[in-house]
Amino acid sequence: MAKSYVVLLAPSVSALEKLLSVCETELRWMDMVINTKKSSCLRVGPRYKVNCNNIMNIDKAKLEWRDEIRYLGVYITSSSVYSCSFKHSKQAVYRSFNAIFGKVGRIASEEVVLELFKKKCLPVLLYGTETCPMKKSHIASLQFVVNSCFVKMFNIRSKVVIEECQRYYNFDLVSDIIAKRTHKFLTSCNNFDSLLCSVRHAWS
């Protein structure tokens, strides 16, 4: 049976519980149920740190509160404002790059290793960045990952030399790549007629 992913947004905990009840009623009419073991709740706003009771479904099963949830590959964090976490993507890039470098790093040219990094690692690192509010600290941490991979690829330590290597190979800064991805994402939306595009446009 195919899986479906649903996000419910509500202004309060009580409103969320009522919304969940309505959704469950409609789903049962279609002979579908919510898997409470794979469902969770997250709070965003000024009161996100305030403890509250768990949400209960129709069958009185609890939906736990989390500090972080994953939706379509993007990790959303509980915070005073909407924010995302890139910890998992950075870890995945390090694993992927180390696997690639361990196989071909000693025998392939720098151009080949760099191309593999662009095709296999960079998309993982930047996944979802065009739809998330990016802080300067987020961009700096992603750039650090790229710089660390360049250190290993070219066996260098100097930040100046790293930047020179990136310019030589026409490798854009992470901030520039994200800016291009965001522009492409927003222009692909037809006059910002969707909620996601409208919200993302407001962050720009």
Segment 169-189, tens digit of pLDDT: 999 999 999 999 988 887 776
Tokens (6 digits) for 193: 């007629």
Give the pLDDT confidence of 102-114 residue by residue, as tens digits: 988 778 888 999 9
186 touches 192 (CB < 8 A)? yes
> Which residues are CB-contacts of 120 (< 8 A; sequence separation ≥ 6)?
96, 100
Stretch 184-202: mean pLDDT, rounded? 63
Q: Cα-flanking dihedrals φ and ψ of residue 75, to 5°?
A: -95, 115
pLDDT, position 105: 77
Identify whether the C-beta of residue 66 lies closer than 8 Å to the C-beta of residue 42.
yes
- The pair of three-digit structure tokens given for residue 70, joined into one six-digit string: 């994953």
What is the average pLDDT value for the chain, to the nearest integer?
87
Query: pLDDT at position 199, please?
Result: 56
How many helices (H) and strands (E) the chain has is answered by 8, 5
Region of poorest pLDDT, from 6-10, 64-68, 149-153, 176-180:
6-10
Confidence tier at 5 by pLDDT (50, 70, 90): confident
Name the residue with higher pLDDT: 194 or 25: 25
Averaged pLDDT for residues 14-31: 90
Q: Does 160 score more than 80 pLDDT?
A: yes
User: In the chain, pLDDT over 90 holds for what percent of residues?
Assistant: 48
19 pLDDT exceeds 90?
yes
Residue 200 has pLDDT above 60, yes or no: no
Asked whether 166 and 118 are in contact (CB, 8 A), the reply is no
pLDDT of residue 204: 55
Instruction: Give the pLDDT confidence score for residue 197 in this predicted structure.
Output: 61
Between the alpha carbon of residue 94 and those of residues 77, 171, 191, 199, the distances in Å are 22, 18, 38, 31
